[in-house]
Amino acid sequence: MLEERRLEVLRAIVEDFVLSNEPVGSKALAERHALGVSPATVRNDMAALEDEGYITQPHTSAGRIPTDKGYRLFVDRLSGVKPLSRAERRAIQNFLEGAVDLDDVVLRSVRLLAQLTRQVAVVQYPSLTSSRVRHIEVVQISPGRLLIVLITDTARVEQRIVDVAEPLEEDVVAELRAVLNRALGGRRLADAAAEAATLPEGASPGLRPQLTALATVLIETLVERHEERIALAGTANLTRSALDFSDSLRMILEALEEQVVLLKLIGWAREPGTVTVRIGRETDVDALRSTAVIATSYGRGNAALGGMGVVGPKRMDYPGTMSAVWAVANYVGELLGAD
């Protein structure tokens, strides 16, 4: 274990380097931070930190900069996610509460996260595997034609047209609606498909033809394999930190165009409220070894609906970025997880 004083020296080096993007010297460090020791002692601590691989000297006459190992220790020793100010929390809440549907929630969230962190933001749409049926609406839109609307608890909405043999009375339409909601309401999408297949068997003869037509369309809707969707914003923010990347910016941008890469980057945090940080090679993506990724998931309680996070240079404001990611995920979880 490093001594607490050396941890303070490392913290000061990380903070100064993030702000200045210049190697940090012992004299400047002692002057800017209340470390309570002389520059000579700071030099000794920096030498020990360098020997143990937490900082490095990029040039012979330069100060020191953090290594990936140093950033990792700095992040690991943070005492939790620092809280946002009341004004910041209110601004996030007001911005997200203005959303009118799921697409709007996701697009607002990803834009907001990019603005707050000044990094590349990634937000995953709610995973279909975790969605449940909230309500099924059935409406007769013309003689012999019904509109069936499937609404999930993650605000996904699917609409299908169903042809039936003849016009239906309103009370028959209402009964069909009630049967579907009693049987399928609250069920996971995969389970709802199996349940829908059994509905015509137990229906009265008068409802069986219509229920068969509705169940057939519902099953097709429920078992469709929709591709997981991702929203991305703030790629232009990478240009502000182009000198931080040892690899070409083009390679990083190409990696971020791959949806499989994005899903992997934000897939580490499985439990809402848990913020994970991957630094450099910890991302397991060669093109992103000059970056850091901060990710979390959003949802209701301990059930994750999807993930979100940011990608940026290793030289980033970790406490502030972690706080912003956590706050936005928290509000999105409240919006989409509400009954």
pLDDT tens by residue, 171-216: 999 999 999 999 999 888 878 888 888 888 888 888 888 999 999 9
User: What type of residue is 91?
Assistant: A
DSSP state of 148: E
- Cβ neighbour number for residue 220 with a 10 Å cutoff: 12
pLDDT of 1 reads 45
Top pLDDT among 126 and 308 is at: 308
Lowest-pLDDT range of 23-32, 158-167, 266-275, 281-290: 266-275
Q: Contact at 8 Å (CB) between 228 and 124?
A: yes
Cβ atoms within 10 Å, residue 191: 14
Tell me how far apart the alpha carbons of residues 25 and 42 are, in angstroms, rounded to a whole number: 9
Supply the DSSP string of 40-107, one letter for each residue. Answer: HHHHHHHHHHHHTTSEE-SSTTS-BEE-HHHHHHHHHTS-SPPPPPHHHHHHHHHHHHT--SHHHHHH
**pLDDT tens digits along 150-168:** 988 877 788 899 998 888 8
CA distance 137 to 294: 40
Q: Rounded distance, CA 6 to CA 42, Å?
A: 8
The DSSP 8-state label assigned to residue 235 in this structure reads G
User: Mean per-residue pLDDT for 131-137?
Assistant: 89
Identify the residue with better confidence: 182 or 305: 182
| Angstrom distance (rounded) from CA 278 to CA 339 | 34
- pLDDT for residue 266: 85
pLDDT band at residue 59, thresholds of 50, 70 and 90? Answer: confident
Q: What is the pTM of this model?
A: 0.77
| Interval 98-104 mean pLDDT | 84
Contact 63, 57 (CB under 8 A): yes
**Residue 260: predicted pLDDT:** 84
Q: What is the mean pLDDT of the chain?
A: 87
Helices (H), the chain: 4-20, 26-32, 39-51, 68-76, 86-97, 102-117, 170-184, 189-202, 208-223, 249-256, 259-265, 318-337
Q: Say what the pLDDT of residue 225 is.
A: 53
